[in-house]
Amino acid sequence: MHRLYQVLACLIILLGLVHISATFALFDALTSRAVWFASGGMAIILTGVLNLLNRSYGATAPGVRWAAIGASAAMTVFALLAGLVGAASGAQLVLIVGLMAATTLVSLRPLPVSV
């Protein structure tokens, strides 16, 4: 389960990098909409990083653990809402929301003290 958590967190970071990269394809100029779109990718990346920190230090740092759980749960809800409002395909919803939800569930499991 510990390894799965690492893979999920890394996939979230990769998703955030893809999101930021898509900014350049979707926007022709640096506008406030482009910046806000890119900031979504940054939030996704930071959620992945927070989960990696939880994986390594969450057993001894409860604040990190609860921050990772909260961020993952919030991003799961946000991804669902953004997908529905943005008319994402069924496959996109399953992939993105599934990734975030799986990470949230894994982050809820007790972590081993010695990593």
d(CA 44, CA 51): 11
Tell me, yes or no, whether 21 lies in a domain.
yes
Total domains in the fold of the chain: 1
pLDDT at 9: 98
Domain coverage including residue 59 = 2-108
Share of the chain above pLDDT 90, in %: 90
Query: 15: closest CA among 76, 86, 90?
Result: 76
Q: In the prediction, which pLDDT does 1 show? A: 84
Q: Does residue 114 form part of some domain? A: no
Per the CB < 8 A criterion, the answer to whether 7 and 99 are in contact is no
68 within a domain of the structure (yes/no): yes
Residue 113 lies in a domain: no
For the segment 17-41, the average pLDDT, to the nearest whole number, is 96
Q: Is residue 70 part of a domain?
A: yes
* Assigned domain for 115 exists: no
The three-point CA angle 75-115-101 to 5° equals 20
pTM of the model: 0.92
Taking the CA of residue 96 as centre, how many other CA atoms within 13 Å lie in the half-sphere pointing to its CB? 22
Tokens of 86: 């943005």
Report the distance separating Cα 95 and Cα 43, nearest Å: 18
